[in-house]
A and B are shown apart, each in its own frame.
Chain A
């Protein structure tokens, strides 16, 4: 397994801080915005963003929720491994609000499509935006682009982006590739 560091701990701090500034610039005073993390991997980034916004930007409590998209995915019965679901915790009203979907990595865009669909179960937001830490920009299968992105990377399909969390702290972001690339 070959590894490449995309973001060091210092980079992570700078990037998260920049995402917070950008979100805050658009959404202040935060009374009409809901942050929604896509389960399972968007939840930790969501927590980190909410914590930093509330602590350093004086936003007051930010409404947020966690959305599981399992039942809206388009690869059910089309993959070998069965799907597993995570809890949905949407104790917020999104009707008429500005929703920011939060996920760690934007890859094919299919998770985001499923999330848009799943979000519809909870109401009709006034607008939906997308915030991701890593944007794998050349891998899109659907016309979906982020509004806020931490870092754009060019990665091959067999490579994996991995976020290393230590508790609530993002320590590094790695790009992992198997020793033997699959032949195409």
Chain B
């Protein structure tokens, strides 16, 4: 049972500056919401006087769906916005777009954007609660929270557990949020992958680099395997997809050689046959679909706790 009952911040911009007790609080409430979404009727009326805008300036399927389901299961009013069919195409600035949406009395803004720092920029300028749903290669806090929730569910407390993040660390906002979040929850975090995809300064975050993926898997209690983000790669970071798979892809053969198999996680979407084989992704070692289910519960917890901070007396 967490000691605190309220979050310290009005926004969820990233996990870097979120205190550990807030992480525990969110994970604690996520447990309650997981019970709610497994009821025959999965909807509770808590946020029925709250309006939430989902602003997705970058493509997303599962995160947008997951947020939307979380919002609807809390009975919030939801408006969706995708950059591809909006005035952004007509040259409107970001603040203008958001101020226009806020003029329609929105309480919470969930935002995904290809540029790092956009959620912070908005939080400084608009009165709504801002939730970062992924900003460039910076942070993706709700993904890291649902990863942590899934790990806790499978392994108990994360205190002293070893988590290795495998693959494209350089382009990954999931990796950075995972590192910040997991370390605050007491886990040891290492990374493994091609040296071209590992930021040079990663050790400054207290993260060990284990270049050989077999050594990394042997060390780890959890392996969070990241997607190779071809769309963010402006040059060749490794010779070929085939070579990447041969050296860093997680295969059943690799897992069978280990003394104990770590929990395999992946934030999706999977490039099957690149970072993970289908055999591994569909095996009982993988918690990938649990992650998706837990994502809704964790996002319900985040939205609920943020909404709880503003009483009806000071709603924007």
The 8 A CB mask of A154-173 against B (1 = contact, 0 = none) is 00000000000000000000
Cα–Cα, bound, A117→B312 (Å):
22
DSSP class of B's interface residues: helix, strand, loop or mixed?
Answer: loop
B203: A residues at CB distance < 8 A: none
B308 touches A72 (CB 8 A): no
Given contacts A82-B5, A120-B41, contact A77 B32 (CB under 8 A): no
* Contact between A84 and B308, CB atoms less than 8 A apart: no
A78, A85, A87, A123: the one contacting B312 at CB < 8 Å is A78
With a cutoff of 8 Å between Cβ atoms, the chain B residues found around residue A70 in the complex are 32
Most chain A CB atoms below 10 A, which of B32, B310, B312: B32
A68 within 8 A of B: yes
- Nearest residue, chain B, Cβ from A69: B44
Contact partner of B40 (CB less than 8 A), chosen from A71, A72, A83, A122, is A122
In the bound complex, do residue B308 and residue A77 qualify as a contact, i.e. CB atoms below 8 Å apart? yes
By a CB distance below 8 angstroms, the chain A residues around B310 are 77
The contact string, 1 if C-beta is below 8 Å from chain B, for chain A 78-116, is 111111110110100000000000000000000000000
Q: Which residue of A lies closest to B33 (CB)?
A: A71
CA distance A79 to B308 in the complex (A): 9
Q: B39 contacts A122, CB within 8 Å?
A: yes
* Alpha-carbon distance A71/B303, docked complex (angstroms): 13
Q: Which residue of A68, A80, A85 has the most chain B CB atoms within 10 A of its CB atom?
A: A85
Contact yes or no, B44 A72, CB < 8 A: yes
C-alpha gap A84/B310 in the complex (Å): 16
Per the CB 8 Å criterion, the residue count for chain B at the interface is 21
Within 8 Å CB of B45, what residues of A?
Answer: 71-72, 117
Return the contact of A82 from the options B6, B39, B40, B43 (Cβ within 8 A).
Answer: B6
Give the docked Cα–Cα distance between A77 and B311 (Å). Answer: 4
Q: Beta-carbon contacts of A48-92 to B below 8 Å, as 1s and 0s? A: 000000000000000000001011100011111111110110100
**Which chain B residues lie closer than 8 Å to A120 at the CB level?**
41
A82-B44 CB under 8 A given contacts A68-B32, A88-B35, A122-B39? no
Is B29 in contact with chain A by the CB < 8 A criterion? yes
The contact string, 1 if C-beta is below 8 Å from chain A, for chain B 275-312, is: 00000000000000000000000000000000110111
Closest to A93 in B: B40
Instruction: Indicate whether A141 reaches chain B with its CB closer than 8 angstroms.
Output: no
CB distance from B297 to the nearest CB of A (A): 13
Are A123 and B32 in contact (CB-based, < 8 A)?
no
Q: Is A121 an interface residue (CB 8 A)?
A: yes
What separation, in Å, do the CA atoms of A122 and B308 have in the docked complex?
25
Interface status of B229 (Cβ within 8 A of chain A): no
Q: Closest CB of chain B to A31's CB: distance in Å?
A: 22
Q: Which residues of the partner chain B approach A117 to less than 8 Å between Cβ atoms?
A: 45
Asked if A82 contacts B308 (CB within 8 A), the reply is yes
Nearest-neighbour CB distance to chain B for A143, whole angstroms, equals: 20
For B39, the closest partner residue in chain A by CB is: A121
A residues near B312, Cβ cutoff 8 Å: 77-78
What is the distance, in angstroms, from B28's C-beta to the closest C-beta of chain A?
9
Please name the residue on chain B nearest to A84 by beta carbon: B5
Interface flag for B153 (CB, 8 Å): no
Interfacial chain B residues near A72, Cβ < 8 Å: 44-46
In the bound complex, CA of A82 to CA of B35 (Å): 20
Chain A residues positioned under 8 Å from B74 (CB to CB): 71
> Which residues of the partner chain B approach A71 to less than 8 Å between Cβ atoms?
32, 36, 44-46, 74
**B307:A87 contact, CB within 8 angstroms:** no
Question: What are 28 residue pairs bridging A and B, where the CB atoms are less than 8 Å apart in the complex?
Answer: A70-B32, A71-B44, A71-B45, A71-B74, A72-B45, A72-B46, A76-B308, A77-B310, A78-B311, A78-B312, A81-B5, A82-B6, A83-B308, A84-B5, A85-B29, A85-B32, A87-B35, A88-B35, A88-B36, A90-B39, A118-B44, A120-B41, A121-B41, A121-B43, A121-B44, A122-B39, A122-B41, A123-B40
Q: A residues touching B (Cβ–Cβ < 8 Å)?
A: 68, 70-72, 76-85, 87-88, 90, 117-118, 120-123
- What would 15 more interface pairs be, CB under 8 Å, given A77-B312, A79-B311, A82-B5? A70-B32, A71-B44, A71-B46, A72-B44, A76-B46, A77-B49, A78-B311, A82-B308, A85-B29, A87-B32, A88-B39, A118-B44, A121-B40, A122-B40, A122-B41
Residues of B in contact with A (beta carbons under 8 Å apart)? 5-6, 29, 32, 35-36, 39-46, 49, 74, 307-308, 310-312
